[in-house]
Amino acid sequence: MWRSTGRLADGREIIYYDESPGTDRADTPDRRPLAPFSPTAELRHDPLLDEWVALAAHRQNRTHLPPTDQCPLDPSTGERHTEIPAADYDVVVFENRFPSLAPGEPPAGPADPALTRRPGAGRCDVVCFTADHGASFAGLTPRRARTVIEALADRTAALAALPGVAHVYPFENRGEEIGVTLHHPHGQIYGYPFVPPRIARMLGSARAHRARTGTDLFDDVVAAERAARVRVVAESDHWIAYVPAAARWPYGVRLFPLRRVPWLPGLDDDQRADLAGVLLGLLRAFDALFDTPAPYIAAWHQAPVDTAGAPDPAFAAHLELFTLRRAPGKLKYLAGSESGMAAWINDIAPEDAARRLRAAYRPATAGAPGADGRDGA
């Protein structure tokens, strides 16, 4: 993989990750007449839940489901200039033009005794997986999937090193049912200035488990699922995917490396290569469940980082992959119990979900052509 870095017309950073040597697309100028990039966001504290909520009013103006020929994530052409100035790319990452988190200072307001707030400093990146607008992650070759993995690991370390960032969250939303506003295959990376509630909860559970048992919670959960076998969807030399025994979503898996690491940069070459094939196999299995492509969220859970950008070794990085679809033409909605009480109800037994996913799973292997038009060698 070859990396080159440039700037867009408004000052935002753009990073190209290329699969061929000597490719320096970052030299391509952005010819759009954009004003300097200066969004602001703020964080407000919810004292009852002890959680931070981000406010980013400028996102109301973000691009929403544009026509195919107006997609801002396609490569630029002589007639149309997009977020990516180059005429082609393999994988590219750039700062979001409409970020949920931004370093600017929010405007001051009148004194409010019920309000605790702070700047919404952080970073939001967009990750484009391929220049092919009609592709999907599931259709990539293992080689291209590996390049995406390398980009996510590289950007995780870079964002963790930024002042004030406490946690880095790479994810992909796919499908209008999820709320996607651009169909081009892409993901995002958030650099939060706080530890998100779910990560804090898992880390607290892990620490309590170690204090109680002297063992690692993540290792013990994976070992228990491997011993039970009934919910394991796939296992390779370096990874295991299983449906959790107390699954919340109708179809969802957790994907763990067999050698625990706190974050993506900690994966070695063998783990990264193996991950590409396993992840593609899982995404294709999700698409095979029903008569239409699965709307899903692929969420990387990583360790919080300290002020020096180092990850907490008590955490175990893993992927949570789930779809909202529970049956043909039917979605899992977050209704009164889930949305109102955060108390989940699942309509499908995890063992049945694992059986269906296991039957559909085929690991991707190098050599087969994919959506990026290249083989996976």
What is the H or E stretch that residue 127 is in?
strand 123-128
The rounded distance, in Å, linking the Cα atoms of 226 and 268 is 22
Q: How far out from the chain centre does Cα 30 lie? A: 27
Pairing type for strands 318-323 and 296-301 reads: antiparallel
Q: Identify whether the C-beta of residue 195 lies closer than 8 Å to the C-beta of residue 167.
A: yes
**At which residue do the structure tokens 């909202």 appear?**
324
186 is catalytic: yes
Distance of alpha carbon 111 from the chain centroid: 38
Of 186, 238, 301, 318, which residue is the catalytic one? 186
What Rg do the C-alpha atoms of the chain give, in angstroms?
Answer: 21
CA distance 246 to 231: 11
d(CA 338, CA 323): 16
Measured CA to CA in angstroms, residue 199 lies from 24, 124, 167, 205 at distances of: 37, 18, 9, 10
- Report the relative pairing of strands 330-331 and 318-323 from DSSP bridges: unpaired
Q: Buried (b) or exposed (e) across 146-164, using 16+ Cβ within 10 A? A: bbbbbbbbbbbbbbbebee
Q: Which residues contact 290 (CB under 8 A, 6 or more apart)?
A: 325, 327, 328
Q: Look at residues 3, 133, 139, 119 and name the one whose alpha carbon lies nearest to residue 56.
A: 119
Q: Which residues participate in catalysis according to the annotation?
A: 186
